[in-house]
Amino acid sequence: MSVGDSVEVGGYRFQLDRIAEVPGPNYIAARGDVSVTRNGHAVTTMYPEKRSYGDNKNPMTESAIDWGLVRDLYVSFGERLDPRTWAVRIYHKPFVEFIWVGWLLMALGGLLAVFDRRYRVVARNPKRVLAPAPLTLGARAAGAQ
């Protein structure tokens, strides 16, 4: 994407408004301003970065994430293709927050199992033996006649 380009992903329009060099405490970053709209209404502005730390020639990517209850939006810079153009990764992930609700459902299932009466019968009547009666060949043959 170049400045002014836009793309639509998952019903959202992402437009790269500008890219600026921004100094950090120990890095220099190329920060993008990406405005996000849906049906013509502004949703958010996201700020992905590509950071270079000192003498290290390996740049690091800082993704911009806008999360919501039923969707997450991700924007990250890839490689610089020319002075005005960047490879940009844009993702729309619906219902990703429900992954984090999964542990709650598992815990609820465990609690229901702990408090189920069927598993507490032995605790109330400790003399009850739950082992099955042994089946012998003689008893089987006698019952068959």
pLDDT digits (tens, 9 = 90+) for 23-67: 989 899 999 999 999 999 999 999 999 998 877 678 899 999 999
Predicted confidence (pLDDT) per residue in 77-127, tens digit = 999 898 889 999 999 999 888 888 888 889 999 998 888 877 665 555 556
Average pLDDT over residues 11-32: 92
Q: How far apart are CA 80 and CA 2, in angstroms?
A: 10
pLDDT of residue 77: 93
pLDDT of residue 63: 94
Q: How many CA within 13 A on the CB side of residue 3?
A: 11
- Burial class from Cβ neighbours inside 10 Å (0-12, 13-18, 19+) for residue 75 reads buried
Q: pTM for this structure?
A: 0.69
Give me the count of residues in the chain: 145
Mapped onto helix, strand or coil, the DSSP state of residue 86 is strand
pLDDT of residue 14: 96
- Plot region of 138 (φ>0 → left; ψ -120 to 50 → alpha; else → beta): alpha
What are the tokens at 139? 């008893």
- Backbone phi, then psi, for 42, in 5-degree steps? -65, 135
Query: What's the pLDDT score for residue 97?
Result: 83
